[in-house]
């Protein structure tokens, strides 16, 4: 297995040791053993995803939530963060590739923003450093919001008196708080609260009945078969880059209409051809279609394909069903605050 980034929250050699070197017999039997083992390579979600560069405050979160729904900072007045990341749909729009301003198609499938802020980067090819960087660059992104400049975004926001008030509350002491950088910080602070613990987290914390017997068996398969070699951490992914198609070209199995060279577009390094950020698997059962191009609709097919081209294994029907059952245990509760739609500011 080739690791293409060393910026990970868990040392890759420790993950490989736990997954491949220590035999299953080394772990005691029963739920306690399963919890111990899973806690070492996965673990429960944190309460939030803080940032030293952008501390979370209630005022920032409140502003960021409103800005998340704001479409008037797009060139045609129709695109907001919530268009491509609708909260009730687990912050993923269900399209193969999202549609931006004037019906422009984005180059890749839009992943959910839930549980996303602690990844090594944003976007499939890692060309956004953080959720704040993603929010900032989206407003001038040609297939996204499409605004001509950051100044044009600031001009729109300053035309609403409520935004002046909200920005001053979120960024006190600043002479001119309504800036694109503060826009990005506010949206980022909101997204850093979008954590969705599910049955798996309850199981790890001692609730033995939170997961079904099939889900527990599937968790064991998820670890035994080597899935956690890439999908580790409490987020079950997002901590490294990996070639998509270690054992066979991915497009032979996904039937992708277009071959995407992945991070090669960013780095121009030959070793980064077909390399993508490992996706977070939290809420994966709710966020189809799958892969960078949305080429696969069924979770069962995605698991089978991953076994074949990433692990070099023909997973049995029972193994696939067990892993899929476990992945359903990663479906969490959407935060109540995120579900309510805010009232947007009116003109002066």
With a CB cutoff of 8 Å and minimum separation 6, the contacts of 172 are none
| Domain covering 58-194, topology | Cytochrome Bc1 Complex; Chain D, domain 2 (1.10.760)
Q: Rounded to the nearest 5°, which phi and psi values hold at 290?
A: -110, 160
- Rounded alpha-carbon distances, angstroms, from residue 286 to 206, 226, 294, 325, 337: 25, 23, 13, 13, 19
Decide: pTM greater than 0.75: yes
Determine the angle formed by the axes of helices 299-310 and 317-328, rounding to 10 degrees.
120
Quote the Cα angle for 238-242-245, to 5°: 130
Please identify every stretch of the chain with a pLDDT value under 50, giving residue numbers as ranges: 1-10, 21-28
Per-residue pLDDT at 23: 45
Q: Do domains 12-41+197-328 and 58-194 have the same CATH topology?
A: yes
- CATH C-level class of 12-41+197-328: mainly alpha
d(CA 154, CA 72): 11
Per-residue pLDDT at 11: 53
Quote the Cα angle for 15-132-111, to 5°: 60
Condensed to tens digits (0 to 9), the pLDDT of residues 279-333 reads 999 999 999 999 999 999 999 999 999 999 999 999 999 999 999 999 999 999 9
The DSSP 8-state label assigned to residue 122 in this structure reads B
d(CA 172, CA 152): 23
Per-residue pLDDT at 243: 98
Inter-residue contact 320 to 304 (CB < 8 Å): yes
List the helix and strand counts (H, then E) for the chain.
15, 2
d(CA 278, CA 298): 18
The DSSP 8-state label assigned to residue 276 in this structure reads E
Query: Which residue ranges make up each domain of the chain?
Result: 12-41+197-328, 58-194
SS3 state at 207: coil
> Which residues is 290 bridged to in the sheet?
296
């Amino acid at each position: 297995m080739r690791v293409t980034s060393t910026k990970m929250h868990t040392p890759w050699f420790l993950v490989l040791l736990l997954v491949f070197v220590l035999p299953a017999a080394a772990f005691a039997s029963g739920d306690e053993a399963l919890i111990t083992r899973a806690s070492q390579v996965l673990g429960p979600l944190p309460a939030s995803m803080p940032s030293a560069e952008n501390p979370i405050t209630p005022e920032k979160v409140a502003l960021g939530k409103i800005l998340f729904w704001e479409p008037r900072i797009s060139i045609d007045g129709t695109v907001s963060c919530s268009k491509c990341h609708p909260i009730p749909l687990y912050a993923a729009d269900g399209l193969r590739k999202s549609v931006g301003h004037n019906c422009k198609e984005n180059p890749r499938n839009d992943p959910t923003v839930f549980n996303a802020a602690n990844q090594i980067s944003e976007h499939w090819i890692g060309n956004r450093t953080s959720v704040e960087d993603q929010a900032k660059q989206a407003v001038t992104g040609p297939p996204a919001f499409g605004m001509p400049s950051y100044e044009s975004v600031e001009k729109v926001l300053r035309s609403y008196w409520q935004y002046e008030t909200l920005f001053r509350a979120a960024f006190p002491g600043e002479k001119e708080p309504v800036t694109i950088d503060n826009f990005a910080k506010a949206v980022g602070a909101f997204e850093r609260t979008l954590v969705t613990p599910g049955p798996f987290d309850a199981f790890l914390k001692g609730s033995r009945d939170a997961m079904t017997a099939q889900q527990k068996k599937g968790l064991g398969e998820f670890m035994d078969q080597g899935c956690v070699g890439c999908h580790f951490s409490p987020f079950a992914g997002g901590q490294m880059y990996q070639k998509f198609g270690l054992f066979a070209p991915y497009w032979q199995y996904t039937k992708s209409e277009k071959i995407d060279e992945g991070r090669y577009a960013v780095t121009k390094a030959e070793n980064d051809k077909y390399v993508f950020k490992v996706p977070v698997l939290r809420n994966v059962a709710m966020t189809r279609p799958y892969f960078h191009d949305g080429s696969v609709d069924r979770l069962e097919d995605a698991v089978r394909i991953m076994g074949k081209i990433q692990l070099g294994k023909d997973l049995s029907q029972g193994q696939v069903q067990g892993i899929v059952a476990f992945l359903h245990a990663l479906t969490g509760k959407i935060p109540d605050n995120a579900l309510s739609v805010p009232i947007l500011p009116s003109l002066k």
